[in-house]
Structures are given as C-alpha cells and as structure tokens.
Amino acid sequence: MTVLSLIVFLPLLAAVALVAVPRLGDGAARWVWVAVAAVDLLLVAAVWLVYEPPGPGRLAFEERVPWIPGVDSSYHVGVDGLSLPLMAMTTVVFLACAVFALRDEDRPRTRAALFLFLQSVSLGLFAAADLILFFLFFDLSIVGMYFVIAGWGHGDRGRSAMKFFLYTFLGSLALLAGFIGLYVAAEPHTFDMVELARQTPLDGSPTAGGLVLAAILLGLAVKTPTVPFHTWLPPAHTDAPAVGSAVLAGVLLKMGTYGFVRIAMPMLPEAWRAWAWVVVVVGVVSVVYGALVALAQTDLKRMIAYTSVNHMGYVVLAVGAAGIVAEGSEQARSVAVTGAVTQMVSHGIVTAALFLMAGVVWDRAGTYNLGSFGGLAGTAPRLATLFAVGAFASLGLPGLSGFIAEFQIFAGSIAVAPVTAVALVGILITAALFLRALQRLFTGPTRGASRGFGDLRPAELWAVAPLLALSLLIGVLPRPLLGVVEPAAEVVVQLVGR
C-alpha cells in the first residue's frame, strides 16, 4: 500500500476496528478518532513536504491497480496541485471535528466510526483518477452524511436528511449519466480521468458535448450547491449536528466545485468554452442571491449556510471566467482558477469553524435565533473573539485567507470579463450581514439567552482556534499554498484553451 492509499484508507480501517470491537469504551473511541485523524494529517503534511508538480497529464504519488477491466476502470489514485490542498484541508477539518466531539456523549463510538468512514470517502474522492472510483466515493459521502443528519441531528432531522439524500442522489445520477457519455465517446472506451483529459473525446461534437457537460454540471451544481439547486442546504445544515455541518460545508460541498476543475473543464474543453458565459451567470446569481438571502436570516445557522451558497458562487464564477478564452487572457484565467482552489480551501476551514461555534450556541441556549441573544461578549469573550475572526475571514478581510482567495477570483475574472464586477456587491452584502450578526450576538447589554452562557471549553477552543489560525497563516503567508496550486491551475487553463 502506497502512502496515498494509506492516507485514504487508514480512517476506514479505524472505523471498521471501532465497529468490530464493541467492548471498546466510549472514551477510548473518542481518542482513537482524534489519533487517527492526527496521523492522517501528518501523513498528508509529509506528502506535501516532498511534493513536486507532476506536469501536464501526470499525477504525483500515482497508483493504479486493475479493478473492472471490462470497462477499463481501475483503482487509480494520484494528486496534483488541485487535489493535494483539498486533501490537506479535509484532514484539518476532520481533526478539528474529532477534537470538538471529545465533549459529546451521544453514542461516541458509532459516531467516531461514521466520521472516520466519511473521512476516507472524502479523501478517496479527491485522490481518485478514475470516474467510477470518483462516483463511488461521491455516493458514499451522501450515504454517510445522511446517517449523520438523521442520527445525530436535531429539529426535523429525518425530513432534512431525506431531502439532502434525495437531492444529492438525484445529482449523482445525472453525474453518472455524464460519465457514461464520456466513456462511450472515448476511443478506446475508458473511465480513466487522465486518459479522458488527454483524449477530450467529445471535441468536435457540440451537441453531444453540450449534453454530457449539462449532465455533469447538473450533478456537480447540486452538490456545490448553486442556485437554483441549493434548497436542500439550509434545512440540512440547520438540523445537522455541529460536526456534521462542519464536514458538510467544509468538505462535502467542495466535491462539486472540485469536479468542475478536475472533470468538466479538462475533459470537455470545447463544451466548457461554449457554455462558459452560462456558468459565469450562474456564479454571479449565486453570489448575489446567497448574500441577500443570508442577510434576511434571523437564524444564525441558516445565515452561515446561505453564505456558503454565496462563497461557492465565487468559485463557480471563477471557473466560468476561465472558460472565456481570449488572446492574452491566459494569465488572468490562471489567476481565476488559482483563486477558485484557494477559495475552496479557505471556505472549508473558515466555515467549519463558524459552524462549530454555531453548535456551541445551540448546545448552550437551544436556539439559533439571533434575536434571543445580546451582549454575549461579556459572558463568552473567547467565543466572541473567535467568531469575530471567523466572520472577518469569511467576508474577505485582508490578512485572512478569504481575502487571498476572493482577490484572485475577482482579479482574474474581471480581467477576462469586466461585467463580472457586478458580483463585487456580494462582498459588501456579506460584510453587512456578518457585522449585523456580530452586533446582535455580542454587543450591547447582556440579555436573553446570553445570561449564564458558558464560554468555550478546552475541546471547543482547541477545535476552532487552529482552523482560524490556519486562515490567518494563509492570509499572511499564502506562498506555500499558492506555490502548489498555481502550476496545476496553469495546466487546467492550458487544457481548457486547447
């Protein structure tokens, strides 16, 4: 087993062990989860330290084993500058969730096994270099998150879990139809992602290419989610447990946006260029609509959920702009793609921190209603400080990761298509909604549910603070991240421009 397979399957092996050894106590199960998540993070860090850009048409740490030879599908995994940052972000978010869950008492052994399973399928998806393998991990993530919401959620969790499952499963069926279209068009037939990116089998067939791209975009748009396929997101987040929301927003949403840069753009470059303006419009609408609806929310968790629609809209906008090919635009389009990948990482760590803190609010007060609080900074200063850092990171304040991502997205997109500047209004609205939330929650005299509100406990503090510290580190010192992402973004832009 190579180091990449070890990273992918170590959490799954631990999950199986937790299920197979029922006598293992709850306390031990919690620490097994933390230990395995920490080891996985160290393994990814080790890979990062020795990583070298593999060049066009290649992957680093590649491993290939025949799986379904009749359709040329294999266990093919590898990493490049698109996937390695997302794998690192995934291990960070899951470790934060494991630490946060040290304080929980509700069936900790089963929950630890379920989240370790989710960690494996998430890492497997980002490492996958075969469409069937990608689809397998994509669907397993839906199953895992369904049980998280239905089993450990609150409110109308059964309905929210069902809505999440049906929506995203429908999206996965559209995705499968698109994958089959690519397989049928390829000569020889294959599901290998590297080979399909090399062949671009539907170039020269605008109708078929457009239909296959539409199916793939539909599947990825539901998972991202973009407007109008986002309606499953608010109830899923509102009724999910804190660690479930953190993983859903931090990691699972990135499976959709990652699919844009890994599958749709390099394998269907002609169709992507033809439909680039449609993607741009969807991105702009998601940016503005997500921000406006978030501004209207009085429920803290729904507000954060709608900001995810807004932030994922930035990513969609950037990858759409990367398809608008014009003479001399290659550098700008590369900047836009680099910003998109940076935004995936930034949104993952920042939104995970915000959802964990929303979970603290629910645990203490039993409500997310912003109007029930006031003056919380007096009784919970650590929570107030970290929430303020998370809010400023999310709205893109300079010095934090959100600024690095959004600056590149808009710099690249506006250079290619100046009309995309209209999406800048989304940043202004996001700033307004987070400042309003900070005022309603933390300022003024202590009242309502803020009275007797306990501040962050050690497990909560050690889960949230490192995520925000990482956002600060990326904001101040982005070069280690950008140095990995930029070469891969340039390759994507070259592939789209063929």
**pLDDT digits 0-9 by tens, 190-243:** 999 999 999 999 998 899 999 999 999 999 999 888 888 888 988 998 899 999
| Per-residue confidence band for 2, with pLDDT thresholds at 50, 70 and 90 | confident
d(CA 393, CA 397): 6
pLDDT for the residue 327: 77
d(CA 99, CA 464): 9
d(CA 398, CA 29): 40
Whether 495 and 263 have beta carbons less than 8 Å apart is answered as no
Query: Is residue 403 scored above 90 in pLDDT?
Result: yes
d(CA 288, CA 306): 11
d(CA 124, CA 128): 6
Give the mean pLDDT of 164-186.
94
DSSP assignment of 104-118: --SSHHHHHHHHHHH
pLDDT for the residue 23: 80
Q: Alpha helices, DSSP H only, in 202-247?
A: 206-223, 233-239, 242-247
Give the mean pLDDT of 19-45.
92
d(CA 241, CA 239): 7
Give the mean pLDDT of 262-287.
95
d(CA 494, CA 487): 11
Q: Take residue 395 and report the two structure tokens written for it.
A: 């709205």
pLDDT for the residue 150: 94
CA atoms within 13 A on the CB side of 407: 12
Residue of 218, 166, 211, 167 lying closest to 185 (CA atoms): 211
| Per-residue confidence band for 307, with pLDDT thresholds at 50, 70 and 90 | very high
Give the mean pLDDT of 175-186.
96
d(CA 329, CA 17): 52
Residue of 139, 131, 151, 372 lying closest to 252 (CA atoms): 139
Helix (H, G, I), strand (E, B) or coil at 8: helix
What's the farthest any 2 CA atoms get from each other in the chain? 70
Query: Is residue 127 scored above 80 in pLDDT?
Result: yes
Length of the chain: 498
Give the mean pLDDT of 21-43.
92
Q: Percent of the chain, pLDDT > 70? A: 100
Give the mean pLDDT of 237-263.
94
Query: Is residue 498 scored above 90 in pLDDT?
Result: no
Query: Is residue 484 scored above 80 in pLDDT?
Result: yes
Helix (H) / strand (E) element for 75: namely strand 73-79
Helix (H, G, I), strand (E, B) or coil at 76: strand
pLDDT for the residue 104: 85
Asked whether the CA dihedral 449, 450, 453, 455 is positive or negative, the reply is positive
| Per-residue confidence band for 265, with pLDDT thresholds at 50, 70 and 90 | very high
d(CA 316, CA 323): 11
Query: Is residue 326 scored above 80 in pLDDT?
Result: no
Whether 317 and 413 have beta carbons less than 8 Å apart is answered as yes
Beta bridge partners of 192: 130
| Per-residue confidence band for 477, with pLDDT thresholds at 50, 70 and 90 | very high
pLDDT for the residue 98: 97
Give me the chain's average pLDDT, please: 94
d(CA 275, CA 272): 5
| Per-residue confidence band for 57, with pLDDT thresholds at 50, 70 and 90 | confident
Q: Take residue 376 and report the two structure tokens written for it.
A: 């919380």
| Per-residue confidence band for 148, with pLDDT thresholds at 50, 70 and 90 | very high
